[in-house]
Structure 1
């Protein structure tokens, strides 16, 4: 799965480590699959995360009625990480390691 496959998915949860070591997103893809997006640095140094216009609310639902924190409308990669933009605002992640896994 590629980052671009996460467009039009719904954000179910967001965990950002208190030491800035990792960030984890759980998303419901447009194909109704739960997906984990996890980013960290190989050398265990803190990652950089910027929340711009953050708007976390629990009043969104997917077309199938699952509660979510909002739809991810755009995903962009950069040479140093990725950006997520959607109902929740704009989240910029700078990390050297990114993993995308289906959750069974």
Structure 2
């Protein structure tokens, strides 16, 4: 799946490494499938993550009663990384490598 195809998904969790070496997101799409988005730099240098107007809540659930942190309404890709926008605010990730894989 392409990163931009994850628009309109629910953010279940995210982990930012304490040394900023990687970030990993777990997203739930409308048909119930889960995907991981993992980003890092090929040369192992720290990535840059910016949180703008961050609004994370723990009291949200999907129509199937799955808890989530907020909705990713749109995703933008650039040469330097990607950006998630939604009711969570904006999460901008600057990394030269990222991938999407199906999560269990």
The answer to whether the superposition gives a TM-score over 0.5 is yes
| Band the TM-score falls in, shorter-chain normalisation | over 0.9
- Say if 2:67 is the partner of 1:67: yes
- 2:20 match: 20
TM-score (norm 1): 0.96
- Residues 61 and 70, structure 1, Cα contact 8 Å, conserved in 2: no
TM-score (norm 2): 0.96
SS class of match (2:64): coil
After TM superposition, give the deviation of residue 90 of structure 1 in Å.
0.2
After TM superposition, give the deviation of residue 83 of structure 1 in Å.
0.3
- 2:90 match: 90
Query: C-alpha deviations, 1:58-87, integer Å up to 9, x for none?
Result: 111223221100111010101110000112
- 1:50 match: 50
C-alpha RMSD over aligned residues: 0.8
- Say if 2:2 is the partner of 1:2: yes
Structure 2: state its 5+ residue gaps.
none
Segments ≥4 residues shifted beyond 6 Å: none
- 1:100 match: 100
Structure 2 distance, partners of 1:8, 1:60, is 15
- 1:41 match: 41
The alignment covers a number of residue pairs equal to 104
Structure 2 distance, partners of 1:50, 1:73, is 17
